[in-house]
Amino acid sequence: MIITIVGGGSTFTPGIVKSIALRKDELEVDEIRLFDIDRERQDKLGVLVKWILEEDLKSGIKLTVTYDEKEAYTDADFIFAQMRVGKYAMREMDEKIPLKHGCVGQETCGCGGMAYGMRTIFPMIKVIDDVEKYAKPTYWILNYSNPASIVSEACRKLRPNARIINICDMPIAIIDVVAAALEVNKKDLVYDYYGLNHFGWFTSIEYKGEDVMPKLRDYIMEQEILLPAAYLKDKQALTSSGSSGGNRHTKGSWYYVWKGVYEIMQNFPETLPNTYLNYYLQQKEFVEHSDPTHTRANEVMETREKNLFDGIDRYLATGEIDESVFYAGSHGDWIADLAIALKNDTKARFLVITENRGAIPNMPYDAMVEVPAYIGKKGPEVIAQNEIPLFQQGLMMQQLNSEKLLVEGCIEGSYEKVLQAFTLNKTVPSMKVAKEILDDMIEANKEYWPELK
């Protein structure tokens, strides 16, 4: 049993490896391979991963660190894909260019997300082709490379027969916070959800069979935020750009995202929104409290990135390891558990991004939607939904068509279609602004994007 991690130089790699190793018996894993095109980053992460497997957990799992596609994928069973094309330097551009024009600057939403998506589409297709060439015929690619909505649409269009499941950990992070706020065990929560990736709604949350949505709604209205009461005792620590440790989704500028859940539910209280809906429903307000010179990319570079590589350097110099410098929470656990469900045919319930095919009756058949599914050896068995309300359907159709136009424009090299995608996106106020942002994005991404004519 071989698991290959694409993007082995990611700061998430140590946590994911630890999650795999802790499930060694269920996965029956013999070898983990790290594959990245950035040798310097991956070599450093490889040192930490080696410590985890050999010293910390004494797992007996073989580690291979490689920069060669054939070595990475030959006879692999699972491929965990976590690419960040352009790394944090380009994420910073994704966030700061739209803000310069008065629009939301965010990693996966709005113009920044579209820019990131256009950098990721063709590298993801190359991964699929290389995996098809070298891996076992029964391989599964678990892709959590962002922006998952755009990447999954491109995969559907260009490689419809690939054995790939596109996933996202943000709904899991939200459930983590809900469980902490309600002081319950998250493993006992069962929820229903529908939407697009980073664009959806929880319609019910049950704890041991009890509907806890009314209790959760009351809590959010009372606290005026969706964060556990214990977190709110020190607002300065929460909002500080230098915050690190703990739940990575609740630090720095994330505070305003959780505050935004309360603001959305003041007006639309029936469902719990995915936190990313703030960027579409409160775009003006989020631009106003954003710092165009210091965005979340800067926060991550100053905390998670810096802490991890400083920690590795200390280990190399002194032999002492500080486990707090790498994140090992729900992100890695969820991906490893998904692999277990596929391998062992458990029919466990997960949220996945999949072709609609009637799961949401009043959305297009070929829409890539995010819905619950039972996961077994044949892949997702999607749980059908009822027709969704007009408000949510209207928002989803606008977002879906923006993403479809973007993918078509990227594949065809069409400036007009990409401009239409930017213009249609709800975070952009006008065609003129869309064109200004796009032209700046083209210049910033000239090393990564196809030529647009």
Please give the positions annotated as active site: 169, 276
Q: How far is CA 263 from CA 105, 106, 129, 163, 272, in A?
A: 20, 19, 44, 40, 11
**Structure-block tokens of residue 25:** 């018996």
Give the CA radius of gyration of the chain. Answer: 21
Contact, 436 vs 100, CB < 8 A? no
**Contacts with 91 (C-beta within 8 Å, 6 or more apart), sequence order:** 84, 107, 112, 116, 297, 300
Query: Tokens 């977190």 — which residue?
Result: 231
Q: Name 80's bridge partners.
A: 5, 142
Instruction: Determine the Cα–Cα distance for residues 379 and 436; give it in Å rounded to an integer.
Output: 42
Burial (CB count within 10 angstroms: exposed 0-12, middle 13-18, buried 19+), residue 411: middle
- Other Cβ atoms less than 10 A from the Cβ of 428: the count is 27
- Other Cβ atoms less than 10 A from the Cβ of 49: the count is 25
Amino acid identity at 328: A
Query: How many CA atoms does the CB half-sphere of 359 hold within 13 Å?
Result: 23
Instruction: Determine the Cα–Cα distance for residues 421 and 404; give it in Å rounded to an integer.
Output: 8
> DSSP assignment, residue 127?
H
337, 349, 340, 336: which is closest to 382 by C-alpha?
A: 349
Residue 369, helix vs strand vs coil: strand
Q: Are β-strands 199-207 and 272-273 bridged in parallel, bridged antiparallel, or unpaired?
A: antiparallel
